[in-house]
Structure 1
């Protein structure tokens, strides 16, 4: 049946032709599937082994599949956190000649989990609020580039650990649309949809005993709106001050950096008499710390992980009395003498439990706690051994199940 297929992809994998496209997706044999945590989806979704990796396959109408594929490609080009599209396959037919739905294929986002899987593993009181914070940041980023989501929810989002917080990625873009800019009404509608959906999803978690029975789900849903509005205001509001208060420009930039955004351009205007200055960020993007770490070390990690690693880099520079040296040379030595040896010291069979940056972040936490407990500075090799035995060995795998990789069922 492969000769009937039409494959639309930027770089199609020939192994795609070996998959059983003549069979409805819900009936695919287990030998081609990756057994992974299941999310909630309105469509049939399966996670499939392909050429040593995992892809997400979603059955969906042909026109919707092409539209979502195009939207995900556009979001990828402007560096918005979202799953990466692989392609669209149409022309599927059963052995009896019956037409089957088209499929959209996306790449596996490593170390990501749907929200229900997060709650099944991490029963901490503030987990819900941390997920809401991550979703608020994602929604602000989408709205800044003119993307109207239309169906904002935890179910349509994947979460990755980012130090003590989470980073959110858009999964389902089929209801979305990309504009040059969004109106206040479009943003408000997305926010209201998000609030209602989140309250319902959290109520479902309470019913499933994954959240405490007395959890105020309405307050958490409202928290998303508040967090979003705080971020949006900080990023887009004009600010006026006198010409003698130019220091407030730097303060505004610092405040945006603290929120996890970098300022690419500022629009600064003065009144005719020159006494008042107005400042408004014109081009903003997330990732101030992650981009700096990438520039210095080549490590591509989440924002909070990058912030923590940069702090350790600064501590290394101070401990070696190298604060006045070129930071790129110091960063190279930190990478080769601190980060890489620590990660390599983790036994190979345990490295799939967390991504390297998260392992290093947790290792720094563990080193701090045992140093405090023993009232001495614990060397990093000793801390690694303790962390592996006392913490990492008991953690569930987050790099899911294809030998060492996989993903949740909501990633398409």
Structure 2
């Protein structure tokens, strides 16, 4: 890289204290490397300065790039190494890059499932002084995959249904906080395995806007965009022979409508029942918890004749099981994984430590079960799946082989069986490599 001056900065700039770096809230301003190159970033990571910003992104040298799965994108996108981390870099217009950067920051503050923004870099020039497109830099979501990367073989209908359900849940969570996406699609989403399902994360927010509350028209328009885009994506998969011939792309794309509307109704609709059925209040809360949502408060109203109650829960956030597991064990995992691990933790406590405080029993479960399983996985398989997913799959595998044998299988034997029969044959989802013919990740 040629020699450049450094002038890191933030937006907007504050020069009220001479001699100090300008700041906005907790952001540190940073600016640049190549002539007029400027970097807007949440934190000052010097590793950004080591990347070849004077080269068009599509021409970056292979030694700079990280070999991760690539999806479909209308932009040039590349994965690169920055220190010990992996980042995604997208070339786009300056206004779009800044809008998406700030939108992703707002979504992260609202605990929305999305990728983490790192920086916006503008003022790029090649070595001949020609202008290069600005870029948005985000942090790679570990163990996540674009939807096409999930299908090395034909996609079964059941797997497709789980993907669409995950997309519907993501859309509900975004709509609850007032986010209008405007470009809902499988391509603009990353997926992580979550026990027997998937967890979906927003990866492209360039068309999104935040509002105090969305109208039903805005929500329905987002749904229609999702239906049309998913139908097109499924047609592409069918043409490539990646889904079963019996799948109807158009009919299947409508599954997101049913999944979304059912979930939205469960979270938001009022429910009326007789005074004698007051147990239905607790039942409604349990259903919401099972969906992974916490309830902040319940509004109860009696009818004019006093013969009925009207209930409307105030749902605050997803992650009910995730938060409970984190509080008890310190393990931060996906919601479905947390639900499965909590089931095992509760069974462990009931069987071995019924009179022990929940927090103490949880600490013992981490050592006796979670750490015992992860510690028994051979080092060469550590990149296959994230630890929580491995523990979930080992517990499921142990249950199946115990049922087949008709007796309880020891944990050590279950882990060894799982490694040989299942894990050895799984793709490495920490570093899944595609060939050069694939396109860039769906940002």
Q: TM (normalized to structure 2)?
A: 0.88
SS of match in other structure, 2:296: strand
Unaligned residue ranges in structure 1 (runs of 5+): 403-407
What is the Cα deviation at residue 271 of structure 1? 4.7
Aligned to 1:392: 423
> In structure 1, what is the Cα distance between the partners aligned to 2:118 and 2:58?
20
Q: Which SS does the other structure have where 2:234 is aligned?
A: helix
Post-superposition offset of 1:242: 3.7
Using the alignment, how far apart are the partners of 1:317 and 1:409 within structure 2?
47
TM-score for both structures, normalised by structure 1: 0.95
Cα RMSD (Å): 1.6
Indicate which of 339, 364, 387 corresponds to 2:370: 339
Equivalent residue, structure 2, for 1:405: none
Verify: 1:154 aligned to 2:186, yes or no. Answer: yes
Find 1:374's aligned residue among 386, 397, 405: 405
Which residue, out of 346, 349, 364, partners 2:380? 349
Contact 2:69–2:432 (Cα < 8 Å) also in 1: no
Confirm or deny: 8 A CA contact 1:114 1:409 kept in the other structure. Answer: no
After superposition, residues 96-175 of structure 1 pair within 5 angstroms as 96-120=128-152, 123-175=155-207
Cα distance in 1 for partners of 2:260, 2:364 equals 39
Q: Distance in 2 between matches of 1:210 and 1:66?
A: 36
Q: Offset of 1:78 from its aligned partner?
A: 0.9
Query: Displacement of 1:124 after TM fit?
Result: 3.0
The alignment partner of 1:335 has SS state of helix
Shift of 1:121: 5.3
Q: Is 1:286 the equivalent of 2:318?
A: yes
Give, in angstroms, the shift of residue 259 of structure 1. 2.0
Inter-partner Cα distance in structure 1 for 2:304 and 2:403:
59
Q: Report how far residue 46 of structure 1 moved.
A: 0.3
> How many pairs does the alignment contain?
406
Kindly indicate whether structure 1 or structure 2 has the higher relative contact order, using CA contacts under 8 Å at least 6 residues apart: 1
Render the CA deviation track for 1:283-310: whole Å, top value 9, x for unaligned.
3321111111111101011111111111
* Residue 149 (structure 1) shift: 0.3
In the TM superposition, what is the alpha-carbon distance from 1:273 to its structure 2 partner? 6.1
Deviation at residue 386 of structure 1 after TM alignment = 1.3
In 2: Cα distance, 1:17 partner to 1:311 partner: 47
Retained in 1: the 8 A contact 2:70–2:442? no
Q: What corresponds to 2:73 in structure 1?
A: 41
Following TM superposition, by how much is the alpha carbon of 1:81 offset from its aligned partner in structure 2, in angstroms? Answer: 0.5
Residue in 1 that maps onto 2:359:
328
